[in-house]
Amino acid sequence: MQTTNAPNTQTDIRYRSGICTAKQAAALSSMPPNTVHSWTKATKTRPAMVHTVENERRGWPTVPLVGLVETWSMRALRTAGIPMSKLVKVAEDLRQEFSDPYVLARPLLFTDGIDLYRRRRGDLFRVEDGQQPIEQVIEKYLQKIELDSDEHPKSFRISLSEGIDLTLDPRFNGGRPSLLRNRVPAFAVLGALEAGERPITVAADYDLEIAEVLAIEQSARKLSKVA
């Protein structure tokens, strides 16, 4: 059995602090809310595929960073056509192999849209027969996930436009979407704009580039669901 340099999942805020609701995780992953909600629950045939935490009040966030990353992983694998039964079996095998229930939050399973691959010592191998893919299928997945040195997730990224990214990082602003460059929360910018402030004024107030304010303004409808 392999082991990992796993964080303390009882205290690490990536595992213990909710940063979004299941509905918001669905919006961030472009998935139906009912589908994501079902992934957070165990059934008679499978365990929960997305981890959640208990909250103190109804409606408060229950999905921690690892749960959001698991949602993104599930979305990538399911929309590529990987059958749920196959995905559940492979995920369970990996959970046992690594003694880690959070394997879906780590870059171990990938798809090229046809076959399912698992990662081993940096290389990808097809689950069925161990064949390696002709093309790498890792990059698209990692576009949204920032990993630490042990390849555990640190944050989830939202690209607004070229060079302007938001990040959901539980270490900053309670994990709410914030500009990657200086951690200004998107909700603060949206609130100022909704109050009638001009973009140039908001930029000066928060020490932002006008392009950053405009990018948030142009994504206001989407961000209103998650910010």
Between CA 149 and CA 214 the distance in angstroms is 34
Q: What are the CA-CA distances from residue 191 to residues 23, 59, 208, 223 (Å)?
A: 21, 21, 15, 12
**Which residues sit opposite 117 in a β-bridge?**
110, 126
C-alpha closest to that of 65 among 1, 4, 125, 144: 144
DSSP 37-100: HHHTS--SSS--SS-----SSTTS--B-HHHHHHHHHHHHHHHTT--HHHHHHHHHHHHHHHT-
Between CA 148 and CA 202 the distance in angstroms is 33
Model pLDDT for residues 186-202, shown as the tens digit of each residue: 999 999 999 999 999 99
Q: Could you give the number of structural domains in the chain?
A: 2
Q: Give every strand in the sheet of 145-147, ordered side by side.
A: 145-147, 153-161, 164-168, 178-179
Model pLDDT for residues 73-86, shown as the tens digit of each residue: 999 888 888 889 98
Q: Show which of 110, 142, 174 is a domain's final residue.
A: 142
Here the CATH number for the domain that contains residue 41 is 1.10.1660
pLDDT at 3: 45
Same domain? 128 vs 179:
no
Same domain? 96 vs 185:
no
Model pLDDT for residues 43-69, shown as the tens digit of each residue: 998 999 999 999 878 888 999 999 999
Q: Show which of 142, 172, 188 is a domain's final residue.
A: 142
Percentage of the chain with pLDDT > 90?
55
The domain of 104 spans 1-142
Residue 140 reports pLDDT greater than 60: yes
Model pLDDT for residues 166-186, shown as the tens digit of each residue: 999 999 999 999 999 899 999
Question: What's the predicted TM-score (pTM) here?
Answer: 0.87
